[in-house]
Every structure is written in structure tokens, then in C-alpha cells.
Amino acid sequence: MGIFSCLIRRKKDVHKIGDSNRIRSAARYSSDSPASGRGKASSSTTVVEQCKDNHGNGSKGPPAKGFTFRELALATKNFKPANMIGEGGFGKSVAIKLLNHSGLQGNQEFIVEVLMLSLLHHPNLVKLIGYCAEGDQRLLVYEYLPLGSLEDHLFDVGPDKEPLDWNTRIKIAVGTARGLEYLHCKADPPVIYRDLKSANILLNNDFSPRLSDFGLAKLGPVGDKTHVSTRVMGTYGYCAPEYAMSGKLTLKSDVYSFGVVLLELITGRRAIDPIRCHGEQNLVNWARPFFKDRRKFVHLVDPLLHSRYPLRCLHHAIAIAAMCLQEQPTFRPLIGDVLVALEYLASLPYNPEASSTRSPPPASPSQRERSMSSREPLGRVSRYN
């Protein structure tokens, strides 16, 4: 494999990126990355030699480092399952992903993942520490996020684990929308993530989300093009219907997937759950009838929330999810408008003490006018409904 040198020019807070394709992962391991960057890979195994980029807040993203397979094998004690999450001997804790060798697009998909995560830097995107492209080995070294993925905390919550509260769920939704907004609006050309799902949303110690696994990412349409035609890839239950049927990929395809994730956060249900009874296995199909009647919104709420949520914010959150899940992509909002609406909901956190100690008096006409004025960000989204 030759050397791919990737350079980027800064242009009005917009990030120029290179080519794209797809990726598949087989397993992730935890180890410690070399503090000094020793064991540099030879030029024949270097995928990205240099990368210059600035993310939205102006800070610089470091270039990915090249590691030898021996270094990574030693750090994980030959990739023992016990070291999928564990401690090594190099210092900084990282996660190592081994790529599937059986895929026909393996090399191209590996390059996509390295390129995307080397050139795109944002607090809500996972950070790429380095990679290994030695022989037929393809490994990626990420920052280690200790709380795992969103699905680990949202589904099948055991009695020994505290379920996510309302405020944390909204925080995760806001951070996820910020990551997508960066890909859609700040990257140049825009990037279609194409594989947004709860399993790909990783969580830091404070439940700040980061999008991971960029192997399916594609460059979005530019100029007068309305879509990108590509092979249908992704995860059943999260794919937009028009993309699944025609292979026509747009930014609104990601918006649909985000709507599925937001609905998962609200309901605590999986996008596809074959264990549930017939009629409830597909989350979107099950939820659609409830969207038509606000009085039935409470039937969508995760029972583990135990009614600890602000009812008005719940109504708005479900309305946002319903708009993202419109079958016609032109009727879905832009992710920037979704972000504005969710940030507004995040500014009205649930306060259990206030909810239990007092009930608000009926609103006066002037109070209702002020309330409508304060909900202006949601109005921006509602025009798509």
C-alpha cells in the first residue's frame, strides 16, 4: 500500500476533506498507546502521512500515528478478550478495532476510516489515535471511552445499573445532533455518516456522546446534485426508506436515522426487536400511530423514566422525532434546525424537586405570549411538519 498524503486548507470554518468509501469492524480491544509514538510504521504501511486540519473551534487535530502490529499485540497481550477493556503498559488508555479480513472492500474501507477521522475533528466525533497497516493486518486505534456505547445504557438495563434519566437522554441527543451538524454543515464537501445508530454512539465519563465507526461514510452531493447514488449499506431499522429502496443517499438520510435514535432515547426500545410481540418489533412502525394524538404521547415513554420528565418537553421531543421520521425526505428538517430545537429543550431540564413540591398556576394571556415567544427555535423546525 502506498503513501496517501492528505492536506487541508481552512476556508471560513469549513473543512475540506478527501475521498470516501466503506468499512466493517470485527472486534474492539483496549490497550495503552505508546506515549512517545515509538515503533513508527514503514513508508510502505503508512496510510496517512500528514494531515493538517482545524475543527470548528479553531483547535488543531493531531495526525494519526502509525503502529506496528507487534506493538498492538503486545499492548493487548495478543488481543486477549480480557483486554477488550483493560490496562496495558504504555500509559494512555485506547481502544483497538480489528477490521474484518473477509470483506472485498477491506483496503478501501480502511482508508476511508483513517481519512475521515484524520481530517474531521469535533468534540462529538471519536478521536483516531493511530492505525496499523502491516501486511494484511488492518487495525485502528481510538481514544478509549469508558462508558461504552449508548445501547449499553439504554436497552436491557439490569437491576444493578441506573437507567438514563431524562436530562442525560436529551444531553446525548444534543451532542449527537452537534456531531451530525458538523458533518453536514462544516465539512466541505459535506459528509453523510450513513450508519447512525445507538451502537455507534460512544459515551465519555460525563455521558458526552461521540460518533464512531466512519467506514460507511460518504461524501455528500455538491453543486446542483441532489443525491449520491451508492450501494445500500447500513443497519436495518435505521436506514431511511428512500435510501433502502433506491440507493439514493442524501443528508436527509442521516436525519431519518437520527429520528430513530431519538425515538430510542424516548422509548427505551430498540429500532428492531424480534423478541417483542408482532406489531411492536419495528420501533418506527409501532410508534407512528401515537404521533397523531398528543394525548397518547405518554404511551411512548420509557417506563424506566417513572414519569420523571417535563411533559411539555416530552411533547416537543416526540414532535421532533416525528418530523425526522417523515417518509418523504423533503419534509424532514435540516439537522441544524433539529439541533436548535433540542438545545432549547436542554435549556429546560427536568427538576424533580420543583415538580414534586409545586404545580404551576394557570398561565395568564401575557405569560402564554411569552411562552410562545420563547419557543421560537421549535417553530423553525415545525415548518417541515
The helix (run of H) or strand (run of E) holding residue 64 is: none
CB 172 within 8 Å of CB 200:
no
Active site residue 195: yes
Helix, strand or coil, per DSSP, at residue 174: helix
CB 331 within 8 Å of CB 368:
no
Helix, strand or coil, per DSSP, at residue 270: coil
Instruction: Give the DSSP letter string of 285-324.
Output: HHHHHHHT-GGGGGGGS-GGGTT-S-HHHHHHHHHHHHHH
Identified catalytic residue from 53, 165, 188, 195: 195
If phi > 0 it is left, if psi is from -120 to 50 it is alpha, else beta; for residue 105 that is: alpha
Q: What interhelical angle do 251-267 and 166-181 show, nearest 10?
A: 170
Determine the residue type at 217: A
CB 10 within 8 Å of CB 58:
no
For residue 315, what is its C-alpha cell? 411533547
Q: Nearest-CA neighbor of 302 among 316, 314, 288?
A: 314
Determine the residue type at 18: G
Cα separation, 2 vs 293, in Å, equals: 58
CB 332 within 8 Å of CB 321:
no
**Does residue 189 have a cis peptide bond before it, meaning omega lies within 30 degrees of 0?**
yes
Q: What interhelical angle do 166-181 and 311-324 show, nearest 10?
A: 30
For residue 370, what is its C-alpha cell? 411569552
* Size of the chain in residues: 385
Positions annotated as catalytic residues are 195
